[in-house]
A and B are shown apart, each in its own frame.
Chain A
Amino acid sequence: MSAYILRRILSTVPVVLFVMIFVFSLLYLAPGDPAAILAGDQATQEDIENIRTQLGLDRSFPVRFVEWAGGVFQGDFGTSIFTREPVSTMILQRVEPTVSLMIVTLIIALAIAIPMGVAAAWKRGSLLDRFIMLFAVLGFSVPVFVVGYVLAWTLALKLGWLPVQGYTPIAEGIWPWLRSLILPAATLSGVYIALIARITRATMLEILQQDYIRTARAKGAAGHTVLFIHALRNAMVPIVTVVGLGIALMISGAVVIETVFALPGLGRLTVESILRRDYPVIQAVILVFSFVYVIINLLIDLSYTLIDPRISY
């Protein structure tokens, strides 16, 4: 097992290297000039050239890449072209809101989707099943920003139960933190509830046809025992896989949600940096995302061994 984990962690090195080269090359080739954006509307060509030289943007591709990559291997992601802050500081400032949003979203999604999927499978073809599947279709179809605006208008603006926008750090108290996340997380969770509920239902339907389920019933096991102990546990591998993929999708969903609810997270940092061509920030954020994605995949693979003892590495 340890050898497997080590092997998997080492396998992230070429992935990250590839991402580094790919992202750097892509940004180098992409149109846009941060020096021109920085200089503003009144700037002359000379002003822009001076800023470009000052920022080292006039140097060749290999020189810039080697300098940047060397810094990354020493844990230095460079300095933002615009704010002149260390990129690592900017990322650290933005991690908490995004991670908090993802955790609360995941909790809401799992708490609702798995019982929904199980119930839909258990009552297959019933009104409840159809209602749950209708909800799932809606969850997929309605854009998250529409859901966000509707929830904000009703729960925050009209009823005043929750804040319209903003993020409260967890250091300022669990309840204020949670209060600031309920609306965005509920909004973002819609699509994951739909996704996980459908997968749970489909997998449960397949499992419930298995011989060992019939045997369990024949032994006189209670309905909930059959459903949650015998069936759901065996359905967990595909569900966990989808949850893992969902976390990656959540990163893209977070971009929209963080904008609608003014959460200062990594998604917004990414979009803002792309729009203003803040290369060091874009490169670092994409690297972090790719690394996180690799680690999540590793954790999911490892979780299979806990769910299903027949799987070992």
Chain B
Amino acid sequence: MISRRTLLGAAAATPLLSLPSFAQGATKTLRYVPSSNLTILDPIFTPAAVSITHGYAVFDTLYGMDANMEPAPQMAEGHTVSDDGLTWEITLRDGLMFHDGEPVRAQDCAASLERWSKRDGFGQALGAATESFSAKDDKTIVIKLTRPFGRLLHAIGKPHSSPAFIMPERLAKTDISEQVTEMVGSGPFKFMADEYVSGDRVVYEKFEGYNPRSEPAAWTSGGKVAHFDRVIWNIIPDPATAAAAIQAGEVDWVASILPDLAPLIEMSPDVELFRQDPFGLISVLRFNHLQAPFDNVEIRRAVLKAIDQTPYMQSVTASEANQQQCLASFPCGLPGVNELGEGIIGSLDVEGAKQALKDAGYNGERVVILNPTDIASIHPHGLITADILTKIGMNVDLQDTDWGTVVQRRVSKESVDNGGWSIAHTNWPAISIDNPATNATTRGLGEKGWWGWSQDEVMEETVADWLSAQSDEEAQQLFDKAHARALDQVPTIPLGQTFQDGAVRTDLTGLLHASVSLFWNVDRA
């Protein structure tokens, strides 16, 4: 029979039994809170930032992007281009291995590039100019083009929204409409599938077989040296709880801090704010080009006249340091982007807009604004736009709903009387729309393109020319031409650039700037 004393003794000993052993204590662990839950593991299947963050831990890319946004060899040793610019050969460097122990072969890379080129916007542009992705031997990837594609390394080295991650051929053969669920990469961390609980935790372990480059790490290029044995993601859905957790020392790194909570972090002695992505987010107002009234370019121009970026940015963050007016259709601060929209964007000319609307023949058509109430960074945009459009005399129907419904309805091409829409807002990581090919907000692919379906043959010809450009000067000229065209046709209205801070414990060193969190190079002081 168990006596009361025995039971109490056992209960008192229980906490001791649960203490980690010294061996466990030697394991160096980084605790990280992503900005959202990781539900889709395949980083090619989705452009979601959290999946890309996961992708960079597990997978590697042939080329990375350096701090100047120029492609730099990563898995590649180097490359050669034929004189006619139609055949590219990329050689793999030595010592590359997948987490299952198999060597990385050119066949794996060719299959991965082929799958990626069916999903990603930049990849699709490359795919359209490609005859084949193949392997000459185990170390040499051959890309045969049908026309020159001067931006090829920028495409396969792109750092955001479905980078061209390399997977084993058997996984890369998966149909692009299906997710790859087995996570075998050749990156610096292994995904621990048996410890993964979606909505709770994601665990990575340092891949001992990873062979980092010797160059210093910068953005997604250089030596990816892992200093932590384990990286554990804690999914904390509530921003206030995440902020409290890092202040209490329960986690080391919170990817995004609610702007309202930033002052609390600034007051904490052991925690500091960290702006991961120096280029931030671009908010946009997207027109439906298939339906009246925004099938009329003059009406889109009239609306542009009335827009002021300031209230939109203020609705995302109160901190002026986290707002940047950007009078351009491309994100300011990125290579090749000139602020060509001065005098066109942000003029806040309500009276001029009213007159322009009248001159354009606006006939009182109902303007349906889809407005997701559950996305804090987008919801106020709908309210501001509704107010502006009402002031200039438009017949506004602001429809509040949830994000899931907005995502469904915005792909409807029907008229507003049949469940269609006129305006929707969203935001993009600036880096993901940094050139004429990747910027879906300015492309003119029509019904085959991004929702809103802007059709613009001139723009598409300019994009094709930019992709084929053989010199930087020519490329810049074409970039500006595409930019000017976007400002003229107003497929989308840019609403300003905002920046999101994360928080890190002050004992962390070596954090890298990028559009997503990177776990190599980070160490504890």
Contact = CB atoms under 8 A, between A and B. Distances in A.
Contacts of A83: 39-41, 198
B177 A164 contact: no
Query: Interface residues of B: mostly helix, strand, loop or mixed?
Result: loop
Contact of A164 (B47, B237, B248): B248
A275 B402 contact: yes
B440 interface: yes
**Which of A40, A41, A176, A268 is the most central at the interface, judged by chain B CB atoms within 10 Å of its CB?**
A41
Interface string B435-450: 0000010000101111
A55 to B, nearest CB: 9
A51 B39 CA distance: 16
Nearest to B42: A84
B37 A45 contact: no
Given A33-B407, A41-B428, 8 more contacts: A44-B450, A53-B177, A152-B241, A152-B244, A163-B250, A261-B241, A262-B235, A272-B237
B369 to A, nearest CB: 16
Given A54-B177, A259-B238, A36 B244 contact: no
Interface string A81-125: 011110000100110000000000000000000000000000000
Contacts of A275: 374, 402-404
B409 interface: yes
A244 interface: no
Contact of A262 (B45, B236, B402): B236
**Which of A33, A54, A156, A262 is the most central at the interface, judged by chain B CB atoms within 10 Å of its CB?**
A262
Nearest to B33: A262
Interface in A145-192: 149, 152-153, 156-157, 160, 163-167, 172-176
Nearest to B440: A42
Interface string A31-62: 11100111111101111101101100000000
B200 interface: yes
B241 A84 contact: no
B197 A93 contact: yes
A160 B250 CA distance: 11
12 contacts: A33-B408, A36-B407, A37-B407, A38-B45, A40-B46, A47-B177, A83-B39, A149-B240, A165-B244, A260-B241, A261-B241, A262-B236
Interface of B: 11, 14-15, 17-18, 37, 39-41, 45-48, 119-121, 161, 175-179, 181, 197-201, 234-238, 240-242, 244-245, 247-248, 250, 374, 401-405, 407-409, 411, 413, 426, 428, 440, 445, 447-451
A45 B447 contact: yes
B240 A50 contact: no
Contact of B448 (A46, A80, A172, A268): A46
Given A40-B47, A82-B39, A277 B200 contact: no
Given A85-B198, A173-B15, A31 B178 contact: no
Contacts of B17: 173
Contacts of A165: 234, 236, 241-242, 244-245, 250
A163 B248 contact: yes
Size class of the A contact interface (CB-based, 8 Å) = 35 or more
Contact of A54 (B175, B403, B449): B175
A277 B47 contact: no
Contacts of B450: 41-42, 44
A264 interface: yes
Contacts of B428: 41
Nearest to A171: B18
Contact of B46 (A38, A50, A80): A38
A276 interface: yes
A272 to B, nearest CB: 6
B164 to A, nearest CB: 15
A269 interface: yes
A166 B250 contact: yes
B236 A157 contact: no
A275 B402 CA distance: 8
Interface string A248-274: 000000000001111010001100100
B177 A51 contact: yes
B248 A156 contact: yes
A42 B37 contact: no
B24 to A, nearest CB: 11
A44 B453 CA distance: 9
A41 B426 contact: yes
A262 B178 CA distance: 30
A268 B48 CA distance: 20
Contacts of B179: 84
Nearest to B241: A165
B241 A276 contact: no
Given A272-B199, A276-B39, A32 B407 contact: yes
A277 B39 CA distance: 13
A54 B178 contact: yes
B401 A31 contact: yes
A306 B212 CA distance: 69
